[in-house]
């Protein structure tokens, strides 16, 4: 189900890229064709990864090289550093989304909030895969990570669908 939602969301985002490209007015518009292009690329990559499971292959490759180079005993530290660097990068992205939201139309703010939620979810999944414990950050008992992901994706699909044409936004 998540793969289908990623596919729908990616199609909606690529349609926004084409629409925003045709208009290309960037003065005062927080969601330009550049934003939509980056967002569409990101969602497309997440959707492909959801189906192909690249992180499992990359983790296996990392373990292979860590053993070959004699660094396997440091794997938890390396994983923690990776998650910390990812946290900084995602934090910077969320700050950029927050700044864009200050001058955005309400419908665009919903997209930006959904994008921030998807970034947060991606961070939680990366931390989980790398065995980094984040006290209190994971959903409580009875709430699945897949359920959280599905809610975020449905929200984003509706939010992207509801954004008016760029030429009509003030």
- pLDDT tens digits, residue range 60-88? 898 898 899 988 898 888 888 999 999 99
**Whether the Cβ atoms of residue 150 and residue 50 lie closer than 8 Å to each other:** no
Q: What is the pLDDT of residue 122?
A: 92
User: pTM for this one?
Assistant: 0.85
Backbone angles phi, psi at 163, to 5 degrees: -65, 125
**Whether the Cβ atoms of residue 2 and residue 153 lie closer than 8 Å to each other:** yes
40, containing H or E segment:
helix 33-52
Residue 164 has pLDDT above 90, yes or no: no
């Amino acid at each position: 189900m998540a793969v289908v939602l990623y596919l729908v969301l990616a199609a909606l985002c690529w349609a926004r890229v084409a629409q925003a490209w045709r208009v290309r007015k960037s003065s005062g518009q927080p969601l330009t064709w550049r934003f939509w292009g980056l967002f569409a690329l990101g969602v497309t990559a997440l959707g492909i990864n959801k189906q192909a499971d690249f992180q499992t292959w990359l983790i296996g490759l990392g373990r292979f090289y860590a053993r070959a180079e004699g660094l396997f005993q440091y794997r938890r530290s390396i994983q923690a550093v990776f998650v910390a660097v990812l946290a900084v990068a995602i934090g910077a992205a969320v700050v950029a989304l927050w700044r864009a939201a200050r001058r955005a139309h309400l419908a665009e703010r919903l997209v930006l909030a959904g994008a921030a939620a998807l970034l947060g979810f991606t961070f939680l999944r990366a931390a989980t895969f790398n065995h980094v414990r984040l006290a209190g950050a994971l959903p409580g008992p009875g709430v699945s990570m897949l359920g959280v992901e599905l809610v975020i994706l449905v929200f984003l699909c509706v939010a992207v669908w509801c954004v008016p044409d760029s030429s009509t936004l003030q």
